[in-house]
A = this chain, B = another copy of it.
């Protein structure tokens, strides 16, 4: 180690008595190569521990092998799950994952993203919700010469560039489950306006109610911001209704935890007095008391597919780009009490 410079293609060429071009052919697995030449070169490569310089390769090929992940931290576990999913795909390839958290409220958001992509000459980028819902950002990335994959909770785009989960159906099932448990007065806490996911979940809720022959009551519906505090406030509103709900569906887990706090402060027992279902299956969901029934979407698998669509557009275009979420049944949703 540490004998200074790393070996280059020239060193390999010299030591194996062939031209650099031939070494290049070996590296790139060119088919028109004599087997004995290949073996000779490969043995020299192994001996030297030669690894091609990616920067030189990128320069010569006029394309590089960096894929960017642009997100606005919707939730730490999701972001990390996505990173792991992407790594599942690019491990053992020459690609690397470059992350770039941004602030979606920043007035310089466009410039920020533009600089990131231009400066690193990214090959492709992946957008996470809620950023992925914005067509202007996707267009910006494409104009800059990147292929784009958007993860989201609804079809937004042509299949080849989108990976989605079916939030709407998942919520419909969750609400159906509450109805099965005997609940007929089911509250709802929506996500923030303007979020595709929020809208999808709301539609799912309404469809679920309808499917159970119930009708929505604005008195036990509220809108939150996906944050804990907003969930708590929403819970307070719902529980103060003339006829409070016996069950609530919350559009994400954080807000569900807030509702739980609101219920506790009112002296209610969860789940006996109030069943709660959340969405996302974050770590918190399993660790609060009672453990939260929630919807889990397959983030890592989605991200893995998304990355495949990015780096192997041809072969991955045919892969399914629609993922189904599961209802994880835990202790926070129980049959409606006899009372």
Contacts and interface: CB of A to CB of B under 8 A. Distances in A.
Interface of A: 1-2, 6, 51, 53-56, 58-59, 64, 66, 73, 76-77, 79-80, 83-84, 87, 94, 96-101, 116, 118-121, 143-145, 228, 254, 257-258, 260-261, 264, 282-284, 286-289
A143 B1 CA distance: 6
A288 B288 contact: yes
Nearest to A100: B87
Contact of A53 (B53, B121, B143, B258): B121
A100 B59 CA distance: 23
Chain B CB within 10 Å, residue with most, of A66, A99, A288: A99
A267 to B, nearest CB: 13
Contacts of A264: 289
Nearest to A98: B96
Nearest to A118: B51
B254 A283 contact: yes
Nearest to A257: B287
Contact of A59 (B59, B98, B121): B59
Which secondary structure dominates where chain A touches chain B? helix
Contacts of A284: 283-284, 287-288
A1 B142 CA distance: 10
Given A77-B76, A100-B87, A56 B59 contact: yes
A119 B101 contact: no
A101 B84 contact: yes
Contacts of A66: 96, 98
Contacts of A84: 73, 101
Q: Which 4 A-B pairs have the closest CB atoms?
A: A257-B287, A76-B76, A55-B58, A76-B80
A84 B289 CA distance: 30
Contact of A76 (B79, B261, B287): B79
Nearest to A57: B55
Contacts of A98: 66, 96-99
A289 B265 CA distance: 10
A204 to B, nearest CB: 24
Given A2-B143, A283-B284, A94 B119 contact: yes
B228 A287 contact: yes
A119 B59 contact: no
Contacts of A51: 118-119
A96 B100 CA distance: 8
Contacts of A64: 55
A6 B119 CA distance: 12
B283 A76 contact: yes
Contacts of A94: 119
